Chain A
Amino acid sequence: MKTIKNGIFNENPTFILMLGLCPTLAVTTTFEGAYIMGLCVLIVLLITNFIVSIIKNIVPDNVRTPVYILLITTSVTALELILKKYVPALHETLGIYLPLIAVNCLVLGRALSVASVSSVKKSVLDAIGIGLGFTLSLMLIGLVREVLGSNMITVMDGISSFTGYRAVYQVLPNTKILPITVFREPAGAFLTLGLLLAFFNFLKDRRSDVK
């Protein structure tokens, strides 16, 4: 429990460690894309951390990184094939950012720094914590960007062929303020992440001041 909490708050991959930012910025134009990408990273993290922690004693030190990279890439490829088969629309939206999980510094970083030195149980828990932390931060960014940028919340659209129903909501029906289209563009991604980071820094500073 403590490890999971640590992954979500103290070592949040997006807002504290600042790892794996490419997908964070690219797929968060919709809420749906954001949480699906988060879940994909969570699954890849889980598989690689689990396998790495099992084979850590067999792999010689000098070929550690290449072996881990191949392991990560294999699981990413498997995930890609599954998505392509069951939810092709989503596979289309995530585009090249799905195979790019393979070179995500977050996954390799956790494999090298945690899974290769800890027990199986601890590595799996760490993967869940970090993965959840990543998913939640992506969801937050996706929510902010979609509400401001398109005045909508897409909960299920691309995966509707799989789950059976669509869920797309409009936020404010009669308003002239929204949408602010800049948030849909790449510039909005940088802006949202920058402002959110500043906000969390502000909260952290205030908390340490009170103490």
Chain B
Amino acid sequence: MTLLQLFITSMLTENIILTKFLGICPFIGTSKRETSALGMGVSVTIVMVLSSIITYLIYNYVLIPTNTTYLRTLLFILVISSMVQMSEVIIKNHFPKLNQLLGLYLPLIATNCAILGTTLLNVNNDYTFIQMLVFTLGSGLGFTLIIYIFSTIRERMEFARIPKCFRGAPIALITASIMALVFSRYFG
């Protein structure tokens, strides 16, 4: 698989939200406004790329040589939460404008399964470093894209007349289902 193919697949056809169900909580919970969806998506992408690089290096150069790969979940979670804290501090001190946009969402993503999921997939699939980078970037951008499209649909849905029992989460899930169908068919 070429790098371009890998990028397109990870971003569109095998989108992490629509086919792997990672990061469903922020998808259903916080994606009601366009700006908040974008903020969430960008923060997730940044933290995802940073922590993927570190976890990849730790896994291949520390865990495999010492034969302690069963520690990966524990270590990856530690790396992700410290990455979240670090990017929070850096953004707060050096990019006050960005902080206004992302500040609220950064702490939330420490327990976002999209990030742990991607780092685990990276090492499970035996990617090379470049492939890993492309895959992670594609996944992050795919996450941002879907969460953004979904938020715009949801804004429209507030004005629609939806039967009472479908309001809220049920209709959101059914919308997601239709989106999943579109994405898997159109690009596949």
Q: Which residues of A contact B (CB under 8 A)?
A: 18-19, 21-22, 25-26, 66, 69-70, 73-74, 76-77, 80-81, 95-96, 99-100, 102-105, 108, 182, 185-191, 193-195, 197-199, 201-202, 205
B-to-A contact residues, CB < 8 Å: 18-25, 28, 70-74, 77, 81, 111-113, 116-117, 120-121, 124, 163-166, 169-174, 176-178, 180-181, 184
Known contacts: A69-B111, A73-B77, A186-B19. The answer to whether A194 contacts B174 by CB under 8 A is yes
Q: 7 closest pairs, A vs B, by CB? A: A194-B173, A190-B177, A187-B180, A201-B165, A198-B170, A191-B177, A202-B165
User: A187 near B177 (CB under 8 angstroms)?
Assistant: yes
Q: How far is the CA of A198 from the CA of B111 in the complex (A)?
A: 28
- By a CB distance below 8 angstroms, the chain A residues around B77 are 69-70, 73, 102-103
On whether the beta carbons of A100 and B113 are closer than 8 Å, the reply is: yes
Max chain B C-beta neighbours (<10 A), residue from A182, A185, A190, A195: A190
A187-B178, A197-B169, A205-B165 given; A96·B124 CB < 8 A: yes
> Which of A19, A81, A193, A194 has its CB near the most chain B CB atoms (within 10 A)?
A194
Contacting residue for B174 out of A70, A95, A195, CB 8 A: A195
Q: Please indicate the chain A residues that have their CB under 8 angstroms from the CB of B112 in the complex.
A: 103
Q: Looking at the complex, which one of A96, A103, A190 makes contact with B176 (CB distance below 8 Å)?
A: A190
Q: Choose among A19, A70, A73, A194 the residue that contacts B171 (Cβ–Cβ < 8 A).
A: A194
User: Are A26 and B20 within 8 A (Cβ)?
Assistant: yes
Q: Which of A69, A80, A104, A193 contacts B173 (CB 8 A)?
A: A193
A74 and B74: CB pair below 8 A? yes
Q: What is the chain B residue whose CB lies nearest that of A202?
A: B165
19 residue pairs A–B, Cβ–Cβ below 8 Å: A22-B23, A22-B117, A26-B20, A26-B21, A77-B73, A80-B70, A95-B124, A102-B77, A105-B25, A185-B184, A186-B18, A187-B177, A187-B178, A191-B174, A194-B174, A195-B170, A202-B165, A205-B164, A205-B165
Min CB gap B175→A, angstroms: 8
Chain A residue at minimum C-beta to C-beta distance from B118:
A96
Task: Say which residue of B81, B120, B181 sits within 8 Å of A96 (CB atoms).
Answer: B120
Given contacts A21-B28, A186-B18, contact A108 B173 (CB under 8 A): no
Inter-chain CA distance A190–B16, complex, in Å, is: 14
Q: How far is the CA of A198 from the CA of B174 in the complex (A)?
A: 10
CA distance A188 to B117 in the complex (A): 21
Which chain A positions have C-beta within 8 A of B19?
186
B28 touches A190 (CB 8 A): no
Quick one: which of A21, A80, A188, A191 has the most chain B CB within 10 A?
A: A21
Residue of B nearest to A188 (CB): B177
- Chain A CB within 10 A, most for which of B72, B112, B165: B165
Determine whether the beta carbon of A18 is less than 8 Å from that of B169.
yes
**Contact in complex: B121, A96 (CB < 8 Å):** yes
**Once the chains bind, are B74 and A73 in contact (CB under 8 Å)?**
yes
